[in-house]
Structure formats: C-alpha cells, structure tokens
Amino acid sequence: MVRLVFDPRGVGPEVQINAVGPQSRSDQIGGFLGERAQESASGNDRNRRA
C-alpha cells in the first residue's frame, strides 16, 4: 500500500511505502529534497536572467 503523507516541515509530500524499511524511506525523502532543491535553483536562475 502506498500512502501520501504531507510533511509539516514544508518539504512537500512524502511517499510512505509500508513494505520497505527505514533506509529506503530515508532515500525517498532525500530524493524529494533533492528534486525540490533543483526546482528552486532553476527558479532562481530564471529570476536572475529576467
């Protein structure tokens, strides 16, 4: 079962898969943080160019 959990710290939705262990879950959270960092970085680049 896959469940979408909204993280109160504001890092966006965290996908929690009950069948996997904590290490995999940490990797998923890190992946989400990395994606968001890339999005905000590209957003900043657009703002600088404008």
- Give the per-residue pLDDT at 37: 61
Of 8, 10, 5, nearest to 33 by C-alpha is: 10
Task: Tell me the domain boundaries of the chain.
Answer: 2-49
pLDDT of residue 9: 62
8-42 residue pLDDT tens: 565 555 555 555 555 555 565 566 666 666 665 56
**Model-wide pTM > 0.75:** no
Tell me what pLDDT residue 12 has. Answer: 54
pLDDT at 2 over 60: yes
